[in-house]
Chain A
Amino acid sequence: MSDLIEFVDTSMRDGNQSLWSGTGLTTPDVLAIAPTVDRVGYHALDFTASTHLAISVRYHREDPWQRIRMAAAAMPRTMLTFLTTGTRFISWKPAADDLLELAFRTAVRNGLRRFQIMHPSNDAAVLVHLARMAKRVGAEEVVLALVYSVSPVHDDAYYSDRIAVLAACADADRLYLKDPGGLLVPDRATTLVAAMCAAAGDRPVEVHSHCTTSLAPLVYVEAVRAGARTLHTAVRPLGSGTSQPSAEMTLRNVVEAGFRHDLDEDALAETSAYFADLAHEKGLPTGAMPEYDHTYYRHQLPGGMASTMRRQLEEMRRGDLFDSALDEVVRVRAEVGYPVMVTPVSQFVATQAVMNVLHEQRWATVPDEMVRFLLGQFGAPPAPPDPDVVDRVLSGPRAEELRHVEPLSLEGARERLGRRLSDEELLLRLTMPEEQVDAMLAAPQPEPGATPVARPGRSPVVRLLRELDKRPAITYLRLRTDDDLVEWRRSEAADAAG
């Protein structure tokens, strides 16, 4: 087996999503650094997902397809990946096959060459079906996910059954172990990766974890020892925290463990410096390694959600209920079939837990999203839900109203929305509020040549002067380093004007 380790860079998708809520990057931000990223030599970029397409429209009023086209042309050597989840596209409503296939085809046509396909409940039949679809529309590389979670149902037999089905899928070019909650511990990574490698044969196995518990960097070292040959990392400013391990540290770690890589470290350093600058210019946080929190393995609530829950309870003057609400999270998760605790299901579970502790009776108040979850509209959970809970929730009138959800499909869509619409616009109009799509289309689109917020390779002196300019309180600076002397004085005219 080769000792070469490849990398998938997640900075622009999962790094941005984990640390900057997915809203941190605009098209000009991506284009400002894209050619340098292209030189690093990544196997692929984790570039976008349907959530990101929606954020681009809603938050930045930027055409998400245009971003994909521009970025693909700016990074011709590197495959851009589309991460797709189950049978959904943008909307929470399930998408029918015709719509999903159009979305896949449009993604490929605009420049997304690689598909990572995951299903929160590891529904192997759905994964195999979607892999076929992705290949049919021309995806160059299809990677199927095995989503990791911790619960009584997520045992060895559970995983080995699913690994066997995924490995048997002829359309899967690779498999990846996806750990959205950052729950993997080194021992578990070793056994699961070894089992996946054995089943996958010649096909490479990738690992994608999060630093939520701070164990991911060590998990990566054990994963390559167990046979994984591709790791998902982010550049340092967009790594750690609840994001992936940093590429910089991971490179050192795998080399120390006796493996090699062929990334261009100069280009990587330039990319990292750019994202650090960008974070600084936009006032966005950069990733720091979290402390290990052992209670996380019990409730599995993503870091931000636990603190939000505490704050909300305190605002209702019921802060005393926080510990019982955390316990309730564990109970609710078991009752609804041990779903993987990632967005949006983790929110459903947490909200239900808070409702349950606030009311005298558990399951007295049930938000629509939880009703829909129990109706199976977000896919089947890994284990059957508690029949008593299901009876209680689904016997109500609200469940009856919510029961009939037509999947989004292309049937009649063109007649309704316009025959001359491009596929790109049709897909957005079918899955997003009309006013958001209209506002995006009416907004001026960014010029690729426009001056970026942060400029790669800006000289330190220029940066220093820019920072001084922002601080009117500083009127004089004298800086000596070795033989260089910089002396700066704010002019009196500027003082008077300021």
Chain B
Amino acid sequence: VKSSNHDAVVAEPVDLPSERVDPLDPPPALNELRDREPAWRLRFSDGQVGWLVTGYSLGRAVLVDSRFSVGTFIQPLGDPEVIAETDQIERSMPEHEGVLIALDPPQHTRIRRAAASYFTVRAVSEQEEAIEQIVSGRLDAMEEAGAPVDLVPVFALPLSSFTICDVLGVPHADRERFERPSAVLADPRASAEEKRAALMDFSAYCRQVVAEKRESPREDLLSDLISEGELSEDEIVGLARQLFEAGHETTAAMLALSVFALLRERTRWESLRDEPAQIETAVDELLRYLSILQMGTFSRTATEEVELGDMVVKQGEKVIVSIPATNRDPEKFPDPDELDLTRNASGHLAFGHGKHMCIGQHFARLELRVALRGLLERFPDLDLAVPVEEIQFFGGEHQLLGVEALPVVWQRR
């Protein structure tokens, strides 16, 4: 029987495995699923059955396929009522029409293009000096504080927040206004009520920023969007909210986790210190290896029946692509569980793929590169201040993989 080869097609739906053994490796049960089949029937947390894609090539094929729409947002893990209610609140807000991740073409294309000039390879590379200055300021702050320092609040978080402040043209002191609501929205323990309040705060802040830009425009993305007049006020507010949120949390989590990965086996830290030219390659390998979007991509909905490989997605069914599983697929990345800082990891799915691929990916790469270079130069003997086992990670129901805190030490020079 043909289908007997295809466990996924005949099997009962699985739950997304979330139990890690090594904090930096995908849950072993997830790797096992991937090693058996590229797609599985998945039970989402609301009981709905859809698909989990674990294979690299199938994952890319799904993400580039225009027969999938964004649809309503559901997750494989987490309180289904809170997720559904938050999604509903989010959809009822007028600026929803500017939130890229919730849009399909042609609206998505129009809005993304309006913002794209600030995120091109060239535009981002021109920001290198500005980011160097931000990094240098944070390194000074670490020195002033003196070892031991928690790298997350002193270095990683402000660095990424300041960068998005500069892109959107708001004072660095505004970081609280978007960091706080973003943290609540990302927190799997927060109630729907808390998330609603956070969304309202966040929305009010973005609306206020856009109003101020209209009043006194400067040289920044939001002022440009307003003066070009191609997007509505609500669209600009929604886009701003998404950029504030996506612009700081992921990069901050990725940066702190990268430093942890390098310090956990200090030979890696030392190899980058001795050969800083390797940092550029190392950044993409860290992105692949750590794959911090641990829950996978945002869910996609099939607008018609979609047959890809052995997977037949019925119209209306939801699919998520597991980024940790696909980025460790041995068919694409030989010896995938090895963090090899010299590997060419191009093609990894850490920024997603398809039309929703991260708009800020070049900023993220640049921030990671400049930040790692700065740390390696200023604190060549940087080390964890506590035993490896004491480092705490966000829970398995959090969208992101990351360290709660990263206490580090160095010798005074």
Q: Do A and B bind each other?
A: no
List residues of A whose CB falls within 8 A of some B CB. Answer: none
Q: B: which residues have CB within 8 A of A?
A: none
